Chains A and B, each alone.
Chain A
Amino acid sequence: MTAISHSNRSQQLGLGTLVLGFFSLLGLILVVYRWINGLGVTTGLTDGRGWGIWISFDVICGIALAAGAFSVAGIVYILRLKEFYPILRPTVLTGFLGYALAAFAISVDLGFPHRIYYMIYNWNIHSPLFEVGWCVMIYATVLALEISPIVFERFNMKAPMKIIRAITIPLVILGIVLSTMHQSSLGTLFVLMPHRVHPLWYSSILPILFFISAMGAGLAMVIVESTWSFFGLKHKLETRLLAKIAKIIPIILSLYAIGRFTELFISGDSIYLFTGDKYSYLFWVEMLIFVLIPVVLFSLPSVRRKPMQMFATALLVVFGLILNRFNVSLVAFSAGAYAPSWIEIFITIGMVSIGAFVFALAARYLAVFPHSADEKTKVLPEEKKKIGDLEPAYSPVIYTSKQPIEGKTLTSGPISRLE
């Protein structure tokens, strides 16, 4: 494994980060412009097509791709596979950013953005969107609390740190419960619309399919973002851990494929599979290129040994999820003609940029990626001397599988105490 330390910690922000910053700013300016001028002038939406790319990408894909957070949190804290700890923080941070941005995108899309909180006291328990809204609000808070230690550590705040540690397990369980609820309810959203969603995508078990595919793509996203930040931020690449994650994905994707095909044949919608129209092609592209190929590739040990091949395969899974959600909510969704306006596109680009920008800054100044103790002593002291450099972030202890019983000496470690 190549262990590369934060050697460029004190360097100026890279060109990539600056570009991200530019698109973030452009996005924010356009958001303000949209709030001032309304949806009619700024978007390509019409009476026939009320939902565009903000809903399809920023909200529906954003939330699904942030699903890695609850899976990895569950692996580390519930299954207590503590070797996965090094990828926990980047994953939870990505999750938090994903949810925060989805909530932000909703506020951009709403006709009455200032009424977004009305959902708190105007209840309609029949509405899937009501449930999604509530879960997103609570889960974003949960993720903020889960990731808050990186800020507390940075400023050495011991008291709030203690509180967070005490409630970590309930938070993680709550996070898993909320994720199960709303990842599936995003599918329920479309169960209400059999008259719109093409039979190849409409399914009576859409909530289950949405949940399973979000789990698969969320884990693929862990691989993508870890590898990505390895290049951008030069932290250590946990190839061995990522390979273990990669091993789970084929199981999840196979479950997804079995569920989807079974439902198609039971409901009789399988007649649309070979009609030769664009929908049948889209379906097969989705299932063969973005489901079958990743299943095969991730099942090969040789692929799981090579970070770049894992990265490429994980990207396939992520694109597959995006394609699937776009098909369900936009392409195979019968409604009026629609082409996103440039403002819609740049706001969406802005949202993604904000996420990546905040992630890059956090990775630079906060202990998102743990680095090993020898690295810390070796590299950081001389770096600290550089003018204008921030205090190095607190580095949590790394737990390796070599330590037979992690709980024995770590009662005050970042991982919640074992009784």
Chain B
Amino acid sequence: MTMDRREFLKSTGMGLAGLIVLPETINHSEIASEDAYGILYDAKACIGCRECESACKGRRDIPTINEPELDADNWTIIKLYQEDNNQSVYSFIKRNCMHCIDPACVSACPVGAMQKTPEGPVIYDETICIGCRYCMAACPFDIPKYEWEEVFPRVQKCDMCADRIAEGKHPACVEACKIGALKFGRRSDMLAEAHERIESDPVNYVDKVYGENEVGGTSVLIISKVAHDKLGLPVLTSSSLPSLTWPWMKAVPGVAVVVATLMTFLYWITGRKLKVAVQEESINDSNQS
């Protein structure tokens, strides 16, 4: 009995400790090693020619029609920002998958159809996707899009041309950019270059590399002369989203063991009580008779 109680308290304590474990950052450095590739987008240099859009569609044999928003066919898009009261203040902004270092979509997908490759791209496996669309809800950048018109719709998003990278080539959009607003290379090099560009021209750049720390860092980095939030880039904290859920998911097996132990113990206790009561009853019966 004493042993049982001690063990019970111990396991309960462990379970509670598992429940209130503080959110810790998952060390994804082995995945997002500094060797992983990244893309630097310089919005100040971008002239909005949309060659990147065409190249992206050309790679997938989709006719080039300019759409205003990202959708299942449009994996990347150039948008124009103009200040309301002063239209001479403007900037282009290229939107596409940010290829987070610790992506919410990868952690959300129940079947693991979203994967972060060691090279940097976040890729999608349409052969195992069940179509739950949790990735679309989980993405802080609203990137994964759906083939709504299909009977069996797939999720669509930029894959950083993972196939081209494997062949040693640059992503199609980067290759298409003639004026150097897009640059491809190791993420660490891209980050260093981003800071260099800002330092060399501090008047024309906002002193911030978007994607350096957002949701734990992204493989796509953006610098611009207009504040990033005005360009439609969400304001996000530096902690990765999966680091919020992982402590809970991690605690699940422990909680299960604790609950099972607790219930078995309770069952045993109530059974014992009943047994004692039965014995007392039979003693009373025999006394009466």
Contact = CB atoms under 8 A, between A and B. Distances in A.
B249 to A, nearest CB: 6
Contacts of A408: 278, 281
B49 interface: no
Contact of B130 (A45, A80, A111, A177): A111
B270 A193 contact: no
A255 interface: no
A16 interface: no
B263 A127 contact: no
B236 interface: yes
B62 interface: no
Interface in B174-225: none
A407 B270 contact: no
Interface residues of A, number: 67
A335 B110 contact: no
Contacts of A111: 129-133, 146, 152-154
Size category of the binding interface on chain B: 35 or more
Interface in B120-138: 128-134, 136-138
A109 B153 CA distance: 12
Nearest to B146: A47
Interface of A: 36-41, 45-48, 50-51, 74, 77-80, 106, 109-113, 115-116, 118-119, 122-131, 133, 169, 172-174, 176-177, 180-181, 184-185, 188-189, 191-196, 204, 207-208, 335, 404-408, 418-419
27 contacts: A38-B150, A45-B148, A46-B148, A47-B70, A80-B267, A110-B130, A111-B131, A116-B130, A119-B110, A119-B111, A119-B130, A122-B110, A122-B128, A127-B107, A128-B108, A128-B248, A129-B134, A173-B260, A174-B260, A188-B245, A193-B104, A193-B241, A204-B23, A207-B248, A405-B278, A407-B274, A418-B274
A38 to B, nearest CB: 4
B111 A177 contact: no
Interface string B241-282: 110111011001001100110011011001100110110010
B263 A129 contact: no
Given A40-B150, A127-B108, A188 B249 contact: yes
Contacts of A39: 146, 148, 153
Interface secondary structure of A, over-half rule = helix
A273 to B, nearest CB: 22
A69 to B, nearest CB: 15
A418 B271 contact: yes
A153 B113 CA distance: 45
B137 A176 contact: no
A57 to B, nearest CB: 16
Contact of B249 (A50, A122, A126, A407): A126
Interface in B1-53: 19, 23
Contact of A128 (B130, B146, B245, B274): B245
Given A38-B149, A78-B263, A127 B244 contact: no
